[in-house]
Amino acid sequence: MTWPVILQLDERSYSASVVQRAAYSVASDFIAEIQVQGQRIVVLLNPHPSSTVAATLCADQVKGRLLQQLNDFALRERIQQETAGLREALIRAALIGCSI
């Protein structure tokens, strides 16, 4: 397979934070270089030297693995944003009951 595997992402779909978290989650198998180019985030993936798995995967499998992590972290980020008000209300209610 030819390395690096390159993914071009739209930052409207995946925030820089999501891309960094996804890259970190696959760091045991891949070394990721993240470049911001205007509205696009480009991820270059190379096999980690100590990985026994990375070199056995085809480009589509490598992309699939990162995309799975990207979607997971994007969903987590969305849920965190949507539940921020509820978390704050719960914390406020808990602190009201404390004698601090």
What is the domain partition of the chain in residue ranges? 5-96
Q: Is the pLDDT of residue 89 over 90?
A: no
Q: What CA–CA distance (Å, rounded) separates 65 from 22?
A: 10
Write down the residue that tokens 């978390």 correspond to: 87
How many other C-beta atoms are found inside a 10 Å radius of the C-beta of residue 28?
Answer: 11
DSSP assigned state of 54:
G
> What does the pLDDT look like over 33-86, one tens digit per residue?
999 999 999 999 999 999 999 989 999 999 999 999 999 999 999 999 999 888
Q: How far is CA 46 from CA 3, 14, 72, 83, in A?
A: 6, 21, 21, 36
Q: What is the pTM of this model?
A: 0.83
Q: Is the pLDDT of residue 25 over 80?
A: yes
Q: Is the pLDDT of residue 100 over 60?
A: no
Residue predicted with more confidence, 99 or 92: 92
Q: Is the pLDDT of residue 98 over 80?
A: no
Q: What CA–CA distance (Å, rounded) separates 60 from 38?
A: 25
Q: Which CATH number fits domain 5-96: 1.10.10, 3.30.70, 2.60.120, 3.30.1380?
A: 3.30.70
